[in-house]
Amino acid sequence: MKTLSEVFKKYEAVIGLEIHTELTSLDTKMFCSCKNSSTDPVNQNVCPVCLGMPGALPVPNKDAIKSIVLAGLATNCDIEKNSMFYRKNYFYPDMSKNYQITQGPVAFCMRGHLDLDVPTKAAQERVDIDKEEDGSYIAHIGITRIHMEEDAGKLNHIGGVDGRIAGADHSLIDYNRCGVPLIELVTEPDLRTPEEARLFMQKLREIFLTIKISDCSMEQGSMRCDGNVSLRKRGAKEFGVKTELKNMNSFKNLHDGLEYEIIRQANVLEEGGQVYQETRHWEPSNKRTVVMRTKETADDYRLFPDPDLAPYDLSDEFIDSVREFLPELPDQKRDRYIADYGLSKQDASELAGSLEQSSFFEEALGDKKEIAKSLANIILNNLAGYLNAEGLSISESKISAESISELAELLSSDEISSKQAKDVFAIMIEEDELPRVIVEERGMKQVSDKGAIVELVKEVIAKSPDQVQQYKDGNQKIIGYLVGQAMKASKGQGNPKLINQTLREELDKL
Ligand code: ADP
Ligand code: ZN
Ligand code: MG
C-alpha cells in the first residue's frame, strides 16, 4: 500500500496527541524565582531549586496555575479543585534532581473537547462524523486532561545526527529550561486522519495564542507534539497496537510523519506482521520513521505524590476570577462574523481561525460593516495567496490595513471588479501605492455605464451565433462563456454583474 486512500479503504487510523506547551508568557519558572527564559546564554537562569540541590523547597507559581485553568476553560474542560503534584522518577542528565514534578491521575483540567470543522474531502475518510445542517462536517475530539508539570533541561549532542544522541561524541547540558512551566494536553484517541491531527493542533495553538499563555512556537519548541497512532480494520471495535512519534516540530511534520507511519503499519499488517508498541522518530529529510526505544511502562517511573507540595483546594472564587480573563475564542469569533457581517461559514472560520488574520481583518474593517465580505475575500484570497507564496506573515509584509481596507471599499462599491482588484493588489505590492491612486492613474475604473455595456453585449451576441443558439435551446451554463467574451471585449473593466444581467435581457429579446 502506497497511499493513505488505499490504506483507508481497508483500515481506519486511530490517532491521539500529547501536546506540551511552555508557558512562555510567565516571568518566572514553575517552582522557583529564576527567569523563565530558555533562550538566554546557557546555564544562566538556574538556582538550587530548579537544579534540585538537597534541601531546596519548591514554591508553585500561582500565575502558572491561573494559566492552566484558563487553558482548561478555553478547551471545555472540567476544572478539578483537588489535584496535586507527583514525582515522576527517572535518571537522565536533562533533569538533575532525578525526578520531574508532574501531576498524577487527577490533573487540574479533565474531560474537555474541541470541535473540528473537517473539510469535506477529509470527512469522507471518516466512518463516524456529524453532518451539520449547512453541509459542513464536525468531528468531536475529546481532551482527556491537561496537567501541569515542569520542563527538563536541553541536551546538546555534539556530533549527533540532527542534534540527536546517535553517533554523538559528547553532550552538553543547558539547565535554563529546567523548571520552565509546562502544560501537557492529552487527547482521547478520537482523531482519524493526519489532516485532523493537523487541524486539531492548529486550532489548539490559536486558542493558546488567543488566551496569551504562550508564544506557541513550534520551531523554538515552546509547543511540541507527540503523535500516537494505530490501525484497525474498518468496522472493528478494538484498537490496534500504537506507535508514538516524538516531538513533531511543525504542522507539516506532524501530518507527514503520521501519514508515513499509517502506511508503514498498514504494510506490516498486510504482510502478516505485527506492529510493536514503540517510540519512533520522524526524519523529515529521509521521509521515514525510525525506532527510538521500545515502550517503558508507567511503573518504571514510580510515580508518587510529592511530599514537598500540598494538595490543592481551588475555590470557586479563584476559578471565576480566572474565567473573567477568557477572551473571545475562535469559534465565538466565527459565529460573530457570520451573524454580524454575513460572512459564509467557511470564510468566517478561516478568518477567525487565525489570530493574525482576524486582527488584521478587524483593523481594516473598522466600522465599515458594508465592506466585510469584500474584505474577507481580499484577505483570504489575494493577501493570503501572496503571503503563502512569499512565506511571509502579515506583519512581515508591507501591506497595511488602511490600503487593504481601501481596496475592499473599491470592490464592494462595484467601482472595480474582482479581476481588477487582483490587478490593483499586484501593483500595490510592487509599487507601495494606495489603491485609489492606482485605479485613478491607470484609469482602471469598472465600466458600469449601462449604455456602454449594452453595446458590448450586442457585439458579443452578434459574434457568437452558435452559443446564442445553445442558450436558446436551454443551455443556461453557456451564459458564462458569453460573459467571459464580454469581459474580454471590455479589457476586464466591465462590471460582471451588469454584463450578466444585460446579456440575459438582450438574449431574451431575441
Ligand atoms: P501510554 O500509556 O502509552 O502513554 P496513554 O493511554 O496514556 O498511553 O495514551 C497516550 C496517547 O495515546 C493519548 O493521546 C491516547 O489518546 C493515545 N492512544 C491510546 N491508545 C491508542 C491507540 N490504540 N491508538 C492510537 N492512539 C492511542
Ligand atoms: Zn531556579
Ligand atoms: Mg501516557
Q: Among 20, 228, 238, which residue has the most ligand 1 atoms within 8 Å of its CB, making it the best to mutate?
A: 228
Q: Report the DSSP beta bridge partners of residue 224.
A: 20
**C-alpha cell read off for 490:** 471590455
- Domains of the chain in start order, with CATH, are 4-318 (no CATH), 330-441 (no CATH), 450-509 (1.10.10.410)
d(CA 35, CA 445): 58
d(CA 418, CA 433): 18
Q: How far is the CA of 228 from the centre of ligand 1 (A)?
A: 6
Q: Among 242, 275, 294, which residue has the most ligand 1 atoms within 8 Å of its CB, making it the best to mutate?
A: 242
Which residues have CB under 6 Å of ligand 1?
A: 14-18, 186-189, 228-230, 239, 242
Q: What is the mean pLDDT of the chain?
A: 92
pLDDT score recorded for residue 416: 87
Angle CA 90–93–98, to nearest 5: 35
Q: How far is the CA of 379 from the centre of ligand 3 (A)?
A: 41
Q: Which atom of ligand 1 is nearest to the CA of 186?
A: 14
Q: Per mean pLDDT, which range of 41-55, 206-220, 290-304, 373-387 is the poorest?
A: 290-304
Q: How confident is residue 296, by pLDDT bands cut at 50, 70 and 90?
A: low
How many CB atoms are located within 10 Å of the residue 366 CB? 11
Q: How far is the CA of 258 from the centre of ligand 1 (A)?
A: 14
Closest CA to 52 of 7, 84, 95, 103: 95
Average pLDDT over residues 196-224: 96
d(CA 384, CA 427): 16
Residue 250 per-residue DSSP state: S
Q: How confident is residue 307, by pLDDT bands cut at 50, 70 and 90?
A: very high
Q: Which ligand is nearest to the CA of 30?
A: 2
Average pLDDT over residues 326-345: 96
pLDDT score recorded for residue 160: 79
pLDDT score recorded for residue 118: 87
Q: How far is the CA of 14 from the centre of ligand 1 (A)?
A: 9
Q: Which ligand is nearest to the CA of 144?
A: 1
d(CA 165, CA 496): 63
d(CA 443, CA 464): 29
Query: Sign of dihedral through CA atoms 255, 163, 183, 14?
Result: positive
d(CA 347, CA 372): 11
Asked if residue 93 has pLDDT above 80, the reply is: yes
d(CA 353, CA 394): 15
Per-residue pLDDT of 137-190, as tens digits, reads 899 999 999 999 999 999 989 987 777 777 889 999 999 999 999 999 999 999
Q: Which ligand is nearest to the CA of 245?
A: 1
Q: What percent of the chain has pLDDT over 70?
A: 99
Q: Which ligand is nearest to the CA of 279?
A: 1
Q: Which atom of ligand 1 is nearest to the CA of 189?
A: 16
Distances (CA, A) of 190 to 113, 194, 197: 10, 12, 10
Q: Which atom of ligand 1 is nearest to the CA of 277?
A: 3
Provide the residue type at 233 as one letter. Answer: K
Average pLDDT over residues 74-84: 98
Helix boundaries (H) for 165-223: 194-210
Closest CA to 21 of 91, 58, 74: 74
Average pLDDT over residues 348-376: 95
pLDDT score recorded for residue 261: 97
pLDDT score recorded for residue 297: 65
* Strands laid side by side in the 304-305 sheet: 99-103, 85-89, 304-305
Residue with cell 490504506: 7
